Structure 1
C-alpha cells in the first residue's frame, strides 16, 4: 500500500472508533506524507489541529496505523502542511465529509430547511434560525415547548403565543424557527417586526393602499411579529393591529409575538390589546444557566470548526453573564484572535484576549439588585431582611456592606441607594457607607476586606 492507501484505511478505522463530529472536525485535510522504518509523518492544516492530534488522538492514531500496516511505530511527527490539487487528496476529502455534506451533530440546516431557504427568505425569515440548533435549558424550556406545540397544532394550541425576555436571549430564534418549520408545509407565512408593520401601515394609508395592506397581513396561516413593545404609544398602529389580530384569531390562524417584557408591562399599549396578548400562552425566556451557556459555546465553536477545551468554555461562560448574543461575541473574538496568530487557545491566552471585553460587560451589566442579592447569599439572610427595619446586629452589618458596594461599584447617589435598600433616607445610606469605608481604610479590617472580595466574586459569577 502507498501512503494515501494506508491513510485511507487508517481513517476508516478511526471513523468507527470516534464520534462523527470529532472525526470530521479533527481529521479533515490531514494526510500521511511519509511512512518508513517505524516513523510516520502526518500533515495537518494548522497548529490547532496539530496540538489536538498530539494530545487527544495520538494513541488512537498509533493503534490504527499499527493495525493497518502490521508494523510497530516508533515515532509520529505531526507537520503543518496543506496538500493542493492531487487526485488522492480528492479521495481523502471524499472519505472525510465536510460539515456541509455530513450528517453530524453540529449541522445547522436539515435538507428540508435548505430546500425551503428561498421560500423562507420570501417570508422574511432567516433560514439559520431552526429548532435543530436551538440549545434548550432551564431558562427557555417552557417557551421552546410552547413553540413546538404551536408548530404541531397551528392555530389551535396557544393562540396567540406571546414570548418575552431580555435582549439576546433567543426570542427571535424561536419565533423564526416556528416560521421555518411551518414553511415546510405552507407558504402562507409572514414575519415582520413591529417597526415594519408600522411602516407598512403608514405607507399604505399615505398611498391609498390600505386594502392591499390588509390583504397582505390578514391572508396568512401564520403571522409572526417581533418586538411588539414598540407599538406602544402608536395609536393608529395599535388600532390596525387590533383588527388584524381579531380577524386572524377568529379564522383559527396562528399569531406569535415577542416582546422584551410581559404584556402588562408594555407602556402606552391599549388594554384591549393586552387582553388579547394574554388570551393564549405567555412564556418567558430567561438568562441561560451555566450548563446551557457551556452547551451553546460548545456547539457554536464546533460549528465554526474551532472547538475549545472545557476549561476555556467554562471561563467564557462564567464571565459573560447577560445573554447569548454577548456569549457569541466573546467566542468570535477568541476565534479571530487565535486564527490570526495561528495559535492554540489556552486558558491564559483566552483570558488575555477577553480581558477588555469581559471588563466592559461586567461594568455595563452590574446592578444594585445583583449586589444586594450577592450580599444576601453571602450572609445567608433574606432580601426581605436586608430591606427591613430590624436593628439586629447580624442584619445591620450586611445592610451597610450592601450600601458600600453599591456606592463603590456603581457610584450611585445616596438617595438612589436608599431607595434600593427598602426606601431608606439618604443620610442612612451615607452613614452606612462611611462606616464600612472607615473599617476598610482606617481600621484595616482584614476580615471585612476578605468578605467584600468574596461578595464581589459572587456577583461577578452569580452562578457559583
Structure 2
C-alpha cells in the first residue's frame, strides 16, 4: 500500500527508523477503500501506542490520489484468556500501582508562602480538616492547583496526602506520567480490571502535573472514567498543573470542564524578597550552618525557589553521605563545585522557546509577529532560521514541535537548521557573532 509506506518513510524522520520498524511496519493491512485504511495490530498495547504517538500525524498526512483524507481504523486481535497465554513455568506477575512516596519534609508547616497564596492554602487546610472530622464530601471537588514550576504544587500534594494518611485514608497519589505508565503496563499484561480496582478502591485521588496527559488519548479516556468514579462517590480529588484548566493543550473538553467543576486555586512564585526566608527555613530544617558569603552566593546564583531548595538539599545530601565534607561548606569554591551541575541544569531549564524567540528579536531588532508570520523577506527569514536553529541545538526540541511553534512543516525547520549549520561551517563571521551574543543572552 503505497500511501501507507510513504507515510512510514515520512515518520522515520521524526520517530527514527527503528521505532517505525518495531511499532508500525508490524501492522497488518486488512483492507482499504478510497477513504479508509484498515489495520490490525499485534496486541492492544500496540494500538494504544498508535493512538498516543501517531494518530494525529496520520490525520494530517494521509490523503488518497484525489486529495481526500484517508481515515485509519485500528483493530486489535481478541485477547486470549490468561490461562491459555501464560506459560506453565512462568509465574503470574501481580499488577501493582505504587503511589508516590511521601516526603516527610513537605508539610504545611514547612511551606513558605506569600500573601497571594493564603486563600489557596486556607482551602487546602479546610479540605484536610473536613476529612479529619467527618469525611463528608467537600463542597468544592475537584481542587485544581496551578502555577509555575517551583511554586510549591508538589509540596502541597505531599502535605495533603500526609494529612489524609493520618485520618486513615488510602490514596491514589500519582504523578501524571506514572498514571500513564501504570495504565500501559496494565494493558500490556491484560490486567485492566485489576488496574481499575487498585486505583478506584482508594479514598482520594491526587494527580500531579495533569498537563502531561496532553495528546495521550487512551490515558485521557481512562482518567475520565477514573475521575467520574471518585467524583460521583464524593471522594476528594486534588489535581495540579502549570496552567489553569482553560489553558491546557491537547486535553479533551470533557476533562477540562470537569477540572473546572470545583475550585481552581492559583499559586504564585515567591518573590525575590521571600528567598532569604526560604533559605533560612531550609537551613534550619536540615540543621546546616553556612557563612553569610555562602548564603549570598546561593541567593544570587539560584534566583528561583526550586533551584535554591535543590542546592541546599544537595549540600545536605553531601553531608549525609560524607560527614567530613561539612567542614568545607564555608569555602566558596567548594560549594560552587558541589552545585555546578545543578546550576547547569537550572540554566538549561530557564531557556524556553519563548525566551529564544524574544532574544533573537532583540539581537536582530525584529518583532515576534514578523518572525512568527509568513514574511519571506531576508530581514525576517534569517532571524527566524536562527531561532529554529537555537531551539533545536540549545533545548533539543523536535523538528515537529519547532514547526508547530512557527506554524510550519517540520521539513521547513530541518532545512532552516541545516542552512544555519552550513553557514557556520563556512565561517560566516557576522552570523557566528550574533549566535555567540544570543548564547550569552540566553544564560543571563
On the 8 A contact 1:164/1:283 being kept in 2, the answer is yes
Matching of residues 223-234 of structure 1 within 5 Å:
224-226=206-208, 233=218
421-430 or 228-237, larger mean C-alpha shift: 228-237
Q: Which consecutive unaligned segments of at least 5 residues does structure 1 have? A: 1-123
On the 8 A contact 1:400/1:435 being kept in 2, the answer is no
SS in 1 for 2:106: coil
Structure 2 CA distance for partners of 1:411 and 1:167, relative to 1, 3 Å: closer
1:243 equivalent to 2:229? Answer: yes
Residue 339 of structure 2 aligns with which residue? Answer: 354
Residue 158 of structure 2 aligns with which residue? Answer: 176
1:147 equivalent to 2:124? Answer: yes
The alpha carbon displacement at 1:261 in A equals: 6.6
Structure 2 CA distance for partners of 1:452 and 1:270, relative to 1, 3 Å: closer
Residue 8 of structure 1 aligns with which residue? Answer: none
| d(CA) in 2 for partners of 1:419, 1:239 | 31
Residue 113 of structure 2 aligns with which residue? Answer: 136
On the 8 A contact 1:224/1:257 being kept in 2, the answer is yes
| d(CA) in 1 for partners of 2:296, 2:373 | 37
The alpha carbon displacement at 1:460 in A equals: 1.9
TM-score, reference length from structure 2:
0.52
Residue 324 of structure 2 aligns with which residue? Answer: 340
1:459 equivalent to 2:442? Answer: yes
**RMSD, aligned CA:** 5.2
Question: Which of 272, 281, 285 is residue 263 of structure 2 equivalent to?
Answer: 281
The alpha carbon displacement at 1:246 in A equals: 1.2
Matching of residues 82-161 of structure 1 within 5 Å:
127-136=104-113, 143-144=120-121, 146-148=123-125, 150=127, 158-161=140-143
Matching of residues 194-343 of structure 1 within 5 Å:
194=174, 217=202, 224-226=206-208, 233=218, 238-248=224-234, 254-258=236-240, 272-283=254-265, 290-291=272-273, 295-309=277-291, 312-313=294-295, 315-316=297-298, 324=306, 326-335=307-316, 336=318, 340-341=324-325, 342-343=327-328
On the 8 A contact 1:158/1:280 being kept in 2, the answer is yes
| d(CA) in 1 for partners of 2:350, 2:305 | 10
Structure 2 CA distance for partners of 1:298 and 1:383, relative to 1, 3 Å: farther
On the 8 A contact 1:369/1:420 being kept in 2, the answer is no
SS in 2 for 1:132: coil
The alpha carbon displacement at 1:279 in A equals: 0.8
The alpha carbon displacement at 1:455 in A equals: 3.6
SS in 1 for 2:237: strand
Matching of residues 33-52 of structure 1 within 5 Å:
none
The alpha carbon displacement at 1:271 in A equals: 5.5
Structure 2 CA distance for partners of 1:329 and 1:126, relative to 1, 3 Å: closer
Residue 42 of structure 1 aligns with which residue? Answer: none
The alpha carbon displacement at 1:328 in A equals: 3.8
Question: Which of 164, 173, 181 is residue 193 of structure 1 equivalent to?
Answer: 173
The alpha carbon displacement at 1:245 in A equals: 1.1
The alpha carbon displacement at 1:162 in A equals: 1.5
**Alpha-carbon deviations, 1:305-340, whole Å to 9, x = none?**
22445664565466558872x544432333526953
The alpha carbon displacement at 1:372 in A equals: 1.9
Structure 2 CA distance for partners of 1:223 and 1:352, relative to 1, 3 Å: closer
| d(CA) in 2 for partners of 1:437, 1:289 | 44
On the 8 A contact 2:272/2:303 being kept in 1, the answer is no
On the 8 A contact 1:193/1:227 being kept in 2, the answer is no
The alpha carbon displacement at 1:193 in A equals: 1.7
The alpha carbon displacement at 1:161 in A equals: 0.5
